[in-house]
Amino acid sequence: MLNSLDLEGRPQDTRIVVAMSGGVDSSVTAALLKSEGYDVVGITLQLYDHGATTHRKGACCAGRDIHDARNVAARIGIPHYVLDYESRFRESVIDNFADSYASGETPVPCIECNRSIKFRDLLSTARELGAAALATGHYVASRRLGDGPRVLVCAADADRDQSYFLFATTREQLDFLRFPLGDMTKPQARELARRFDLEVADKQDSQDICFVPSGRYTDVIGRLRPNAVAPGDIVDLDGNVIGHHQGIVHFTVGQRRGLGIAATAPLYVIRLDAARRRVVVGPREALRMDRIVLRDVNWIGDGALDRVIGDGLEMFVRVRSTRAPQPAWLRAAEGGYEVELVAGEEGVSPGQACVFYDAPSGQARVLGGGFIRSARAKIPAAREGARQTIAPSPLAETARG
């Protein structure tokens, strides 16, 4: 007989570790499972020196959040532990974040945190504690397909869906993970928090990168990788110097405002050349990409990717967390994988994720994804159909090596 988490055994005989960040979502997850009778253990990760952010709103896993998680655990009557993961978080997430920016990429640290810290290290700890599953407050759902493996699907609340940040989850991890809020909306979760009398019911959501005390990520990068804030030139598509900057870290592909240069027509950041400390700008039409080369591809669709891809696999892809999935083809290319966007996309940036889905909307299944290594853009007709390639400089390969 399977319980509500699709596990064998009665809830009271089933231990579940809940990752508690101190926010409303993970708190409701713990309270909900406790109310269903599960043997719940709460774990909060101390990921960085929280002294500077103890009283600051909008950051997770800081001192205040640990305090809130502890209070929620006491309120619902479950054991709660705080684990010091600072060194592994710095090595896997913060250093990676700084290296990526210094090489001209635009990284997504939440993806690396989920992949390297929560769903690898914390998951291993949950197993050591004898848990049958690790539950989190992410807005995403997992379901079993018949007698087959569990699959990852988008949340019912499209405005809260976090599937983009979880594409690197493996099949083995999915079998052990549970996401109780995947079929709820945020207002429903807050209402449950009030029903459980949790003091975090109206706590605001975290908005900033959690390990940036000042809210300015450039401060962290400048301290860890000074070369990223070295001055350089702003050039047009022909390489002509039209301005200067105080560090490529202050720019991202697609950016229009804050360039510090005057022009007769709007200019956008087309690419970042970290090796020469150059910011390349051009007209908006130069931003449109139609082919994306990926690295570190994770496949959680049916079968082995190399067997099912054939001459090309039709799917929908999302190239930024705030954008809707669009039609594309995934193909094998030069020992790796390449995505061809049917309609093209503006502002595709190396370091971001390209996530695969089986449908453009609703609770679509997540098929996997990869990180964007480079993209090819169509240049305006005025440049006689020439093509421009954007990619991180060779420093990116050195940083990752």
User: Catalytic residue numbers?
Assistant: 113, 210
For the CA atoms of 181, 186, 188, 191, what is the dihedral angle to 10 degrees?
110
Q: And the tokens for 54?
A: 């103890």
Burial class (CB in 10 A: 0-12, 13-18, 19+), 21: buried
Specify the DSSP class assigned to residue 365: B
How far apart, in Å, are the Cα atoms of 148 and each of 8, 69, 176, 358?
16, 35, 14, 17
Q: And the tokens for 201?
A: 């019911």
Within 15-161, residue ranges assigned H as helices are 24-35, 63-76, 86-89, 95-102, 109-112, 123-128
Those residues with Cβ within 8 angstroms of residue 38's Cβ, 6 or more apart along the chain or in another chain = 5, 11, 12, 14, 15, 16
Comparing C-alpha atoms, which of 59, 16, 63, 57 is closest to residue 44?
63
Separation CA 11–CA 334 (nearest Å): 49
**CA distance from start to end of the chain:** 48
Separation CA 100–CA 279 (nearest Å): 16
Q: And the tokens for 4?
A: 């509500």
Those residues with Cβ within 8 angstroms of residue 274's Cβ, 6 or more apart along the chain or in another chain = 102, 103, 104, 228, 248, 392, 393, 395, 396
Specify the DSSP class assigned to residue 362: S
